[in-house]
Structure 1
Amino acid sequence: MTIQFFGYPKCSTCNKASKWLKDNGVEFEKNNIVETPPSIELIKEILATTNTQLNKLFNTSGTIYRELELKDKLPQMTQEEQIDILVSNGMLIKRPFVYDGKQLTLGFKENDYEQVWKTS
């Protein structure tokens, strides 16, 4: 699987992450997380293949997350309902979001990128 990068063009952290990948020779497919958020199928695949918990995929510091009061609502929702709301708006997803079929990174920490995405 090609490395999938989901980011938001106006997000400085996403731009730093994208630059790091380019500077380190990592090939990836760039997706605008608002225009083409990860699919329900991709989210389910990530949950099945990584140790990532669903709640970690939410952008808990985002305006929409707070407006929808998801902090209080998510615990009462089923996993299916949580996934549906997560993919309904790319701004609800923690970004940058990078996945290659086996590994996932959320956000940008250079040390994490060194360990996960460094190819040489």
Structure 2
Amino acid sequence: MVLYGYRRCSTCRNALKTLQDSGAQVEFHDIVDMPPSEEMIRTWMDKSGRPIEDFVNTRGTVYRERDLKNAKFTEDEWVRELSQDGKLLKRPILVTDKEVFVGYHEGAYRRIALGAGA
């Protein structure tokens, strides 16, 4: 499984620790150093069944500074924006063989790690 997050984000560090403490083999990918491609974001949307709005970090500084609350972006425009600035992505994003999870919930991450054969 792969955890996409930001190394300086305490929630992302907690998510990684939860997975590792549960015995999961997890690869960490920093979305700020290397934002995901538009294709990857679309794959996450398809695999999760969630709309693009669920992947937008509406609590982040970049979102607020750019006043994106009032943006009237299409799905394609949001995908482009998210692929250009990893801080706009809600985090963490956990990708397993079968699913994509957006956000962190400790209990759910423990169950996911155990279900992955940890």
Q: How does the TM-score come out when normalised to structure 1?
A: 0.87
Paired residue type of 2:51: Q
| 1:105 and 1:112 in contact (8 A); partners too | no
Counterpart of 1:69 in structure 2 is 67
| 2:48 and 2:101 in contact (8 A); partners too | no
Give aligned-pair identity as a percent.
34
Counterpart of 2:91 in structure 1 is 95
Measured in 2, the distance between the counterparts of 1:45 and 1:117 equals: 21
C-alpha deviation, 1:101, in angstroms: 4.3
Q: Deviations over 1:37-82 (max 9, x none)?
A: 2221111111122221110101110010011111110xx2221111
Give the gaps of 5 or more residues in structure 1.
none
Paired residue type of 2:66: L
Measured in 2, the distance between the counterparts of 1:71 and 1:116 equals: 32
| 2:3 and 2:28 in contact (8 A); partners too | yes
1:39 aligns with 2:37: yes
Paired residue type of 2:69: K
SS of 1:94 mapped into structure 2 = coil
SS of 1:98 mapped into structure 2 = strand
Which of 22, 27, 30 is matched with 2:28 structurally? 30
Which of 83, 103, 106 is matched with 1:107 structurally? 103
- Aligned residue pairs total 116
**Matches of residues 5-24 of structure 1 in structure 2 within 5 Å?**
5-24=3-22
